[in-house]
Chain A
């Protein structure tokens, strides 16, 4: 199984800050990595697929990148509505696996 290690598990940042979340895969998965946003009491929402492609309707302040088995989600300018938990997910092989999540809070 591919293990996805997400860091940090939580962070607190100010409005306007640039925020970076990292996901490390235990083995190679090409670019088959997605990012999801989940707000309390809501279903997850798809942000990014193929490591760096934005889903339709997702604002461009979200971006993704890959370096080997390390993947990064960046929020360029944090806004109050970005307060949520973010998950990475690999879809290179079964079982499909998620990272443990990063809770982003606004200072």
Chain B
């Protein structure tokens, strides 16, 4: 059974930093692209960042709203995904979901999602 369990969320002041983690199990983690997607309170879904797999040299993509402030990374030996968030802003307040990449015809969407970890940026 595929499981994704996020942790590391919490309350942080504007300008602060936070590191989110996602522990994966039930599948071959190293084969998959992995993503972070967030959802602000009462709002829709917003893709944040992606890390490709080893076959694609772990290259990354970011939403413009977080580029230069957030860094996605992974540790295949520990089946773990991370999101280092720096220079946090109040508009980064959201539930952050870890999502597994799903490939069809060479293009990747998501299939399984974790339950999310809440991040609140406030003074």
- Scan A73-107; emit 1 where CB is below 8 A from any B CB, else 0: 00000000000000101011011111111000000
Query: Known: A34-B110, A89-B109. Contact between A97 and B104, CB under 8 A?
Result: no
Among B13-21, B69-77, B112-120, the stretch in contact with A: B112-120
| Interface residues on chain A, size class | 20 to 34
What number of residue pairs across chains A and B have CB atoms under 8 A from each other? 62
Most buried by B among A34, A96, A97: A96
Question: Which residues of the other chain, B, contact A36 by a CB distance below 8 angstroms?
Answer: 45, 110
Question: Which residues of the other chain, B, contact A94 by a CB distance below 8 angstroms?
Answer: 50, 61
Chain A residue with Cβ nearest B64: A95
Chain A facing B: main interface SS: loop
Contact of B110 among A32, A46, A92 (CB under 8 A): A46
Query: Which A residues are closer than 8 A to B by beta carbons?
Result: 32, 34, 36, 38, 42-46, 49-50, 53, 55, 87, 89, 91-92, 94-101
Q: A49-B102, A95-B64 are in contact. List 7 more A-B contacts (CB 8 A).
A: A36-B110, A43-B116, A46-B110, A46-B113, A49-B104, A49-B109, A98-B44
**26 contacts across the A-B interface (CB closer than 8 A):** A32-B109, A36-B110, A42-B115, A43-B97, A43-B113, A43-B114, A44-B45, A44-B113, A45-B113, A46-B102, A46-B109, A46-B110, A49-B104, A49-B109, A50-B104, A53-B104, A87-B44, A89-B110, A91-B108, A91-B109, A96-B47, A96-B50, A96-B109, A98-B44, A98-B47, A99-B44
